[in-house]
């Protein structure tokens, strides 16, 4: 039997592009919070209220999103999501190394997480972040939502045994240069082979690839924002500039200085 709340949530999801009325932008230029109460994402995130009021808080600020309003968070923007009240429904959209991911979130365990192809969603996300003004940003986000709805969706879950501890290690220490694959495997409590299989099934990459891809995603954003190569390498968690440059060349086929400044 289909839960009526789930059916309603999916209907509102389908209406998201037409429902979108405004997109606020929160800039992010924070260092990792070091165990504080604030969340810290290495990739951009979009939060949209589909029903009721969705509250997002940051140090010294907060926003209450009404239905149709969205908040676009730059990478490194410190924030947290307030608990949802009955009748509220939120759409959250972000990126993992191998694909784009989104979640429909409501109170009382109402929710659905799914994944879809990384491109062109990643490019549309970046265009929205770099939009010249509020109107262009809204239209870029609308195009992103249209694209998300047009893609096939596959269920995404971190419920497999040992998987969430690995994900938590990756998300809680995103820029720690000492973070290694061994840390993720130890956290899982599984054998190395089991840990790799379960991580790849969810993330679409190996743990080592996920660590590098996550760091490269933040470094790219820092370079686009005018940061120097050495600063981007340090803030993204690479042990050295040379390590960063090698990883960047393998991924993009050119030195990072072509995108950023020395």
Query: Which domains, ranges and CATH numbers included, belong to the chain?
Result: 4-155 (no CATH), 163-258 (1.10.10.60)
- Asked if residue 77 lies in contact with residue 175, where contact means CB atoms within 8 angstroms, the answer is no
Q: Distance between CA atoms of 213 and 60, rounded to whole angstroms? A: 31
Output DSSP code: residue 97. S
pLDDT tier, 32 (very low <50, low <70, confident <90, very high otherwise): low
pLDDT at residue 1 greater than cutoff 60: no
Threshold 0.85, pTM exceeds: yes
pLDDT 10s digits, 45-104: 999 999 999 999 998 899 999 999 999 999 888 899 999 999 999 999 998 888 899 999
pLDDT 10s digits, 108-148: 767 788 999 999 999 999 999 999 999 999 999 999 999 99
pLDDT tier, 40 (very low <50, low <70, confident <90, very high otherwise): confident
The top-scoring range by mean pLDDT among 66-70, 175-179, 215-219 is 66-70
Q: Distance between CA atoms of 71 and 58, rounded to whole angstroms? A: 12
Q: Distance between CA atoms of 14 and 132, rounded to whole angstroms? A: 27
Output DSSP code: residue 91. E
pLDDT average, residue stretch 140-164: 91
pLDDT 10s digits, 221-258: 889 888 899 999 999 999 899 999 999 999 988 889 87
pLDDT for position 2: 63
- In sequence order, what DSSP letters do the residues of 193-243 get, joined into one string? HHHHHHHHHHHSS-HHHHHHHHHHHHHHHHHHTT-BHHHHHHHTT-SSHHH
pLDDT 10s digits, 9-25: 889 999 999 999 999 99
């Amino acid at each position: 039997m289909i839960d009526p709340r789930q059916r309603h949530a999916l209907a509102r999801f389908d209406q998201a592009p037409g429902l979108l009325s405004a997109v606020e932008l929160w800039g992010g230029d924070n260092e990792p919070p070091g165990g504080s109460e604030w969340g810290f994402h290495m990739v951009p995130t979009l939060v949209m209220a589909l029903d009721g009021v969705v509250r997002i808080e940051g140090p010294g600020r907060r926003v209450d999103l009404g239905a149709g309003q969205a908040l676009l968070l730059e990478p490194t923007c410190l924030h947290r999501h307030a608990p949802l009240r009955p009748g509220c429904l939120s759409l959250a959209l972000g990126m993992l190394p191998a694909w784009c991911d989104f979640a429909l979130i409501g109170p009382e365990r109402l929710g659905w997480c799914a994944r879809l192809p990384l491109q062109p969603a990643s490019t549309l996300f970046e265009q929205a972040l770099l939009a010249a003004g509020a109107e262009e940003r809204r239209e870029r986000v609308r195009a992103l939502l249209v694209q998300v709805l047009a893609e096939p969706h596959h269920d995404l879950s971190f419920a497999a045994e040992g998987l969430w501890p690995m994900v938590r290690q990756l998300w809680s220490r995103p820029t720690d240069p000492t973070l290694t694959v061994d840390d993720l495997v130890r956290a899982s409590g599984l054998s190395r082979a089991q840990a790799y299989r379960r991580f790849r099934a969810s993330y679409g990459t190996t743990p080592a690839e996920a660590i590098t891809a996550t760091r490269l995603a933040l470094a790219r954003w820092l370079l686009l924002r005018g940061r120097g190569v050495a600063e981007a390498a340090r803030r993204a968690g690479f042990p050295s500039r040379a390590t960063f440059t090698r990883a960047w060349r393998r991924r993009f086929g050119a030195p990072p200085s072509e995108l950023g400044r020395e």
